[in-house]
Chain A
Amino acid sequence: MHIPEIVGQDEAVRLLDREMASGKMSHAYLMWGPRGSGKMALAKRLALASNCMQSAARASASGGPESGQDLPLWFCGECPNCEKIAKGIHPDVCVVAPEGDAIKIGQIREMKWRIALKPNEASIKTWIIDEADRMTEEAQNCLLKVLEEPPGDSLIILLSEDPGMMLPTISSRCHEVRLNAIGIEELTKWAEAEFDLEPERAKLLATLSEGLPGRVATLAGDDEYFKVRDRIISTVRRVALCEDGSEALAASEDLIDQLKKAYAQAVDGGGSPEVLEISSPMGACDLMAGWFRDLFILSITGDESLIINLDHIMDIREDAARGQPSLFSRWAVKAMQTAQALRSSANPRLAMDDLFLNLALHE
C-alpha cells in the first residue's frame, strides 16, 4: 500500500500533530510552499491522521497524545479509511484542482453542495483544494463562507505555491502551515539513499532543485532534462561575448527550435514537469539567469561553495574570468527580465534575440 511520504517538513508535521493532540485543529488550513515541497503529501497525511479509525481509539486509550513514542500525525495504515485514502479512492476525501488554467466558481459551488452532505465513511470530510491560488476571484469569494463555517465535521485544506495571489480574506480564515525547502545537506543524504546516487550527483540534484524533494525525485531519472540543460548552457557560452550579432541571432533561432522540439517531445512522450519547464523559453531563461548568477557570484567573491551549477564548475571558472561582475549581474537581470516578459507572453523569438544580442555584444 502506498503511503504518501513526507520528506523533511518536520516542523509542519509537528505543528499539525500538536494541534491535533491538543484539540486545537482548525477546520481550514492553508498549506503553502514551493512546488515539490510535499504539500499534497502533507494534506493527505492530515486526512489520514484525521480519519484513521484507530488513531482516535489510541489517543483516548493512552489518555492523551503519546508524543515522543508515536510517529507524529500517526495513522494505522490498515483500517478501511486509511486504506482508501492512501489509494486515493476515499469517497469523503476529495480534491479540487484547476480545470484548464483555473479553479472556477462552478467547481466551488459543487463542492459547497457536496460538503453539505454528511460523510459517507469518514469521520472528517476532507476537501483539498490544490493550486488554490488559481481560483478565480469569484471562486475565492464563493469559497469564503464555507471556508469560515463548513457544515458538520469538515476539513478544508488549501494548497498553494503563492498564497499572496489570493484574497487576504482567504488566508485569514485558515491556519497557515508553511512548507519549506529542505536543507541541502539533508536532501542530499535523502537523495543518495532514495535513488542510490553518488554523493556528488545527489548534491547537484539537491542544489539544482532548490531543496525540493519532489523535484529531486523527478530529476533523478531525468536524462532528458540534463540534455536540454547542457544544450542551453553550451549555447549561452558560445554566444556570450562572441561579438558577432549574426551568430547570436542564428544561435537564438537554433535554440528556440531545439527547445520547441524538446518541448514537443516531452509533451508527446509524457516528459517530466521539469523537462517541460526547462524546454519552455521562460524556463530556459531562468536557467540562463542562474548561470550568469554563478558567474557573477564567483567573480565577485571567488567562493566556489556559492555555485549552483556544480557540475559545470570548470566552465564557470573559465567564463567568470572573461568578464566583470557588473556585466554578469546585468546579464542575470536581463535573463530574468526576459523570462518575466515571456511569462506575460512576449514573443519568444524576439525576446531571445534581444537577450542573445545583449550577451554577444554586451550592450
Chain B
Amino acid sequence: MTYVSLYRRWRPQNFDDIVGQGHVVRTLKNAVSTGRISHAYIFSGPRGTGKTSTARVLARALNCEKGPTPEPCGECRSCVAIRDGNAMDVIEIDAASNRGIEEIRDLREKVMYAPTQGRYKVYIIDEAHMLTQAASNAFLKTLEEPPAHVIFVLATTEPENIIETIRSRCQRFDFNRLSVPDLADHISRVAAAQSISIDTDATKLIARRADGSARDALGLLEQASAWSAHVTSQSVLELLGTSDYDTLYNYADAARRGEPGPLLQIIRDVVESGADMRQFLQDLVIHFRNLLVAKECPDLPGLLDASEAVQASVMKQAAQFERGRIIEILDVLSEAEINVRRSPNPRLVVELAAARICAKPRAGGFVQASPPEAGDPSVPITPKARARGKAGKKDSRSAAVLQDKAADGRAVAPAEGEHEQSGYSGISEEQWNEALTSIKRVNVVLEAFLKPVSAVCVEGGVARVMYDPSWTVHVQKASEPENKELIASTLTDVLGRPVKCEIVARSPKPKMESSGAGASGGESGDYSDVPEVMKAIELFDPVEIEVIED
C-alpha cells in the first residue's frame, strides 16, 4: 500500500511491543498463562495509549493456534488473520455508531454463536461510553450471563460514563498517558529502525508535544523527518508552526513593562505575517509557563518546554520578572486562549488580552494609590470630557489634537519608566520591604499575608495598605486590630514619623480600562462574591469604589 502512516506500521503485535503500560501488560500476560481470563474488560485511557492495540494482542494471545499463550506466534492462521483484520472471531465495533438498543440487542443474539475459527469470540467495543442508557442496560444482560466463548473488551476514553453496573462486571485496566521518557524512548527506537536521524533535543520536544499519545508522537516524527532530513528541535518547532522565539521574548518583555504600543505592534506583525492567533496564544502560554518554571526552579532547566538553545535566555528573562507578574499575565493569556477558540475575531481577543496585561500592573501593581484626579484619562467620559469631545467634533479635530490624544493614551499606560513599578507614595519600595522584614521577625504569618499587597500609600499620617479585592482572606487577616497595630508601629519606625494603618481592598482603577476585556472572558471575579460591592458597581462607576474593610 502506498500511503501508510508510521503509526500503523508500528502497531504492537505482541504484549512486549506495548509501550509504557507495564502494569496492564504484566497482568494480562499472567492471566493468559494461568488461564484466568475474565469475560469482560474495560480498557480506559486517553487516545493513543494502546487500548485497541492491546485488545488485539489479547485476542491473538487467546486464539493463537499454539496457545492460549502470552507470546502469540504471529504466524499461525489465527494470528495472521487478526493482523490482517479479517479474523471472523475478532469483531471490532464502534459503540458510537452502534449505540442504540436495536444494535445491542442484535449483538446480544450474535454473541450466542460459537466462534467459527478460534477458541474465543473477542468483541472489541470502542468508545464504549457512547452506548445509550437503554443499550447499556440491554448489554448488561449479556454481561451477566456471558457465553463461555465470548470475551468483551470495552475500550473507552471516558470510563466514568460507562454505567456502574457494567463497570462492576468488568475487569478494568487504566492505560496511562505515556510519560515523556517512555515516549522519547519509543521515538528513538522507531527513528533508529526507520533510519531517521534525529537530535535528542528534538526527540524530547516531540515526546512533550505528543501529550502522552504514542500515535501522535509517531505522526509528528514522521512529518518532522519529511520536513527536514535531519530532525532538530528547530525543525520540529517550524513544523508545528510555533511562533518565532524572538517574538515571544519581545512580547514578554513588553508585557513585563506593560507597554501597550509595542505589544500591539508585535501582535500586528504576527497577524500580518499570517500566523494563527490561536497558535500564537498557545505559544505565549507555553513561554510564560516556562518563565514561571524558570522562576520557581532555576536549577532545573530540564523542566522547561523549550529547546536547549533558548533555555539560557528563558532563565535570564525569568530573572527580570516578578513571580506574581508572570502569574497575572498567564492568567490573562490562558483565559484568552480559551476565548479565542470560539471567537470569530481572534485578533481582537489577543489585542484585548494585551491591553489587560498592560492595565494589570497598575491594578495588581504599583500605580498611584490616590483617588483619580479629574483629568485622569482612565476615567470614563465625564460630562466635561464629553463636552470637550463634542466641541472637538465641531472644530474638526486636527492632527495636533490627535497627537495630544495619543500622548494621553500613552500616559494611561504605565509606559513611562517612573510609573513602572511605583506602587508607593509617601514611602519607597525599600522602606516597605524593610518594614516587611522586621514584621517577619515578629510575626511570620502576618508577613506572609502582606505579600500580595498591591500598593502602599502614606498620606497625612495614614498608611493605606492596599490589596486587590480578590485577596479577601488576606485583607481580613491584616485588618485584625493587633496586626494593624504591628504594621503601624513598624512603619512608624521605618519612616521615622507616626502613622496609623488602614487596610484597603480596592477595585484598582486601571482595571476599569480592562474591565471590559475582563468581561470578554468572564469577569476576573474580583467582587463577584461580595454582593454589596456588586450593587455598588451597578450604581456607581466602579472606578470610584473603594472598599474599606475597616
A contacts, CB < 8 Å to B = 8, 11, 15, 18-19, 21-22, 24-28, 33-34, 50, 105, 108-109, 123-124, 137-142, 144-145, 148-149, 152-155, 162, 164, 168-169, 172-176, 178, 180-186, 210-211, 241, 243, 282, 286, 289-290, 293, 296-303, 305-306, 317-318, 320-327, 329-334, 336-337, 339-340, 362
- Whether B355 and A300, one on each chain, are in contact in the complex, defined by CB atoms closer than 8 angstroms, is yes
B94–A297 contact, CB under 8 A? Answer: no
Contact yes or no, A301 B274, CB < 8 A: no
**Bound complex: CA A210 to CA B355 (Å):** 21
Q: A286-B345, A325-B409, A333-B352 are in contact. Are A172 and B48 (CB under 8 A)?
A: yes
Also in contact, A302 and B352, with CB within 8 A (given A25-B2, A164-B341, A183-B272): no
Please state if A142 and B225 are interface contacts (CB–CB under 8 Å).
Answer: no
A329 touches B514 (CB 8 A): yes
Q: How far is the CA of A362 from the CA of B385 in the complex (A)?
A: 13
Known contacts A282-B344, A321-B405, A362-B381; 17 additional CB pairs below 8 A are A15-B226, A27-B8, A155-B3, A173-B5, A182-B274, A293-B351, A299-B405, A301-B260, A302-B407, A302-B409, A306-B268, A318-B396, A322-B390, A323-B389, A325-B377, A330-B515, A336-B349
Judged by a CB distance under 8 angstroms, whether B379 is at the interface is yes
Q: How far is the CB of B425 from chain A (nearest CB, A)?
A: 23
With CB as the reference atom, state the residue of chain A lying closest to B275: A180
Q: Verify if B444 is at the interface (C-beta below 8 Å from A).
A: no
Which residues in B have some Cβ–Cβ distance to A below 8 Å? 1-8, 46-48, 85, 92, 94-97, 99, 126-127, 130, 157, 213, 215-216, 219, 222-223, 225-227, 239, 241, 260-261, 264-265, 268, 271-276, 278-279, 341-345, 347-349, 351-352, 355, 377-381, 385-386, 389-390, 392-393, 396-397, 401-403, 405-410, 412-413, 512-517, 519-520
Closest to B268 in A: A306
> In the complex the two chains form, what is the Cα distance from A297 to B227 in whole Å?
39
A141 near B226 (CB under 8 angstroms)?
Answer: no
Report if A329-B516 is in contact (Cβ < 8 Å); known contacts: A172-B219, A175-B219, A301-B260.
yes
| B85, B94, B241, B386: the one within 8 Å of A149 (CB) | B85
CA distance A34 to B386 in the complex (A): 40
The answer to whether A330 touches B264, judged by C-beta atoms less than 8 angstroms apart, is: no
Question: Across the two chains, which residue of chain A brings its CB closest to B511?
Answer: A326
Known: A153-B1, A290-B348, A329-B516. A18 touches B406 (CB 8 A): no
Sorted nearest first, the 6 A-B pairs with minimum C-beta distance are A302-B406, A141-B96, A330-B516, A142-B97, A326-B513, A322-B389
Q: B157 contacts A169, CB within 8 Å?
A: yes
Does B264 lie within 8 Å of A297, measured CB to CB? yes
> Are B261's CB and A303's CB within 8 A?
yes
A306 to chain B, nearest CB (A): 5
Known contacts A183-B273, A318-B397, A336 near B348 by CB under 8 Å: yes
Q: Residue B222 contacts which of A50, A164, A175 (CB distance < 8 angstroms)? A: A175
CA of A325 to CA of B358 in the docked complex: distance in angstroms? 12
Report A-chain residues with C-beta under 8 Å of the C-beta of B386. 241, 243, 322
Q: Which residues of A contact B381 (CB under 8 A)?
A: 241, 323-324, 327, 362
Q: Shortest distance in angstroms between A332's beta carbon and chain B's nearest beta carbon? A: 6
Partner among A183, A290, A323, A337 whose Cβ is within 8 Å of the Cβ of B274 = A183
Q: How far is the CA of A105 from the CA of B96 in the complex (A)?
A: 10
Partner of A329, one of B223, B265, B276, B355: B355
Residues of chain B within 8 A of A164, CB atoms compared: 278, 341
> Are A336's CB and B226's CB within 8 A?
no
Report which of A162, A241, A243, A306 forms a contact with B264, defined as CB distance below 8 A. A306
Contact present for B126 and A144 (CB under 8 Å):
yes
Asked whether A326 lies within 8 Å of B274 as measured between CB atoms, the reply is no
A210 to B279, CA, bound (A): 16
With A289-B345, A293-B351, A329-B513 already in contact, the answer to whether A178 and B241 are too (CB < 8 A) is yes
Inter-subunit contact B516/A27 (CB<8 Å): no
- Verify A19–B226 contact, CB threshold 8 A: yes
Complex: A282 Cα to B227 Cα, angstroms:
40
CB–CB A293/B341 < 8 A: no
Which of A141, A184, A339 is the one whose CB lies under 8 Å from B127?
A: A141
Q: Is A286 within 8 A of B344, CB to CB?
A: yes
* Cα A144 to Cα B124 with chains together (Å): 14
**Contact B223 A336, beta carbon cutoff 8 Å:** no
Q: Could you tell me the distance between the alpha carbons of A41 and B341 in the complex, rounded to whole angstroms?
A: 24
> Bound complex: CA of A337 vs CA of B349, how far in Å?
11
Which chain B residues border A327 with CB–CB below 8 Å? 380-381
Tell me the smallest distance from the CB of B466 to a CB of chain A, in Å.
20
Beta-carbon contact of A317 and B402 below 8 Å: yes
The docked-state distance in angstroms from the alpha carbon of A323 to that of B275 is 32
16 residue pairs A–B, Cβ–Cβ below 8 Å = A15-B226, A24-B225, A33-B276, A108-B97, A138-B130, A175-B223, A178-B279, A183-B274, A282-B344, A297-B264, A302-B407, A303-B265, A326-B514, A329-B355, A330-B519, A340-B343
| Cα A19 to Cα B274 with chains together (Å) | 23
Q: Closest CB of chain A to B175's CB: distance in Å?
A: 13
A318 touches B3 (CB 8 A): no
Residue in B closest to A139 when the chains form the complex, CB atoms? B97
Cβ-defined contact, A326 with B343, below 8 A: no
Nearest A residue to B273, CB-CB: A183
Nearest to B92 among chain A residues (CB) is A145
B264 touching A303, Cβ below 8 Å: yes
Task: Report A-chain residues with C-beta under 8 Å of the C-beta of B3.
Answer: 25-27, 50, 124, 153-155
- Contact call A152/B264, Cβ cutoff below 8 A: no
Whole-angstrom distance between the Cβ of A14 and the nearest chain B Cβ: 8
Contacts of B4 in A (CB 8 A): 26-27
Q: A293-B351, A334-B516 are in contact. Are A180 and B241 (CB under 8 A)?
A: yes
- Chain B residues closer than 8 Å to A331, beta-carbon distance: 516
Chain B residues with CB under 8 Å of A18's CB are 226-227
Whose C-beta in chain A lies nearest to the C-beta of B399? Answer: A317
Distance in angstroms from A158 CB to nearest chain B CB is 14
Q: Which residues of B contact A211 (CB under 8 A)?
A: 271-272, 274
Question: Which B residues are CB-close (under 8 A) to A330?
Answer: 515-516, 519
Cβ distance B39 to chain A, nearest Cβ, rounded Å: 24
Query: A214 vs B31: C-alpha distance in the bound complex, in angstroms?
Result: 59
Q: Chain B's nearest CB lies how many Å from the CB of A303?
A: 6
How distant is the Cα of A282 from the Cα of B6 in the complex, in angstroms?
Answer: 44
Q: Nearest CB to that of B217 among chain A residues?
A: A172
Distance between A262 CB and nearest chain B CB, rounded to angstroms: 19
CB contacts (< 8 Å) of B223 on chain A: these are 15, 19, 24, 175-176
Tell me the minimal C-beta distance from B13 to chain A in angstroms.
14
- A124-B3, A302-B406, A329-B355 as given contacts; A321 in contact with B96, CB under 8 Å: no
Which partner residue on chain B sits nearest A171 by CB separation? B216
Chain A contacts for B241, CB-based, 8 A: 11, 178, 180
Contacts of A282 in B (CB 8 A): 344
One of A27, A241, A339 near B344 (C-beta < 8 A): A339
Given A144-B127, A302-B405, A321 and B85 contact (CB-CB distance below 8 Å): no
CB-CB under 8 A from A293, the residues of chain B are: 348, 351-352
Task: Report Cα–Cα, A109/B98, bound state, in Å.
Answer: 11
Contact A333/B516 with A15-B226, A326-B378, A340-B342 known, Cβ cut-off 8 Å: yes
Residues of chain B lying within 8 A (CB to CB) of residue A325: 355, 377-378, 409, 412, 513
Closest to B93 in A: A145
CA–CA, A34 to B264, complex, Å? 22
Q: Are A8 and B96 in contact (CB under 8 A)?
A: no
Contact of A184 among B272, B517, B520 (CB under 8 A): B272
Specify which chain B residues have a CB less than 8 angstroms from the CB of A298 in the assembled complex: 406
For A305, give the chain B residue with the smallest CB separation.
B268
Given contacts A169-B47, A173-B215, A293-B348, contact A180 B96 (CB under 8 A): no
Min CB gap B178→A, angstroms = 13
Residue of A nearest to B241 (CB): A178
Q: With A28-B5, A293-B348, A303-B264 given, is the CB distance from A145 to B94 under 8 Å?
A: yes
State in angstroms the CA–CA spacing of A298 and B264 once bound together: 11
Residues of B within 8 Å of A340, CB to CB, are 342-343
CA distance A28 to B6 in the complex (A): 11
Residue with the greatest number of chain A CB neighbours at <10 A, chosen from B3, B7, B278, B343: B3
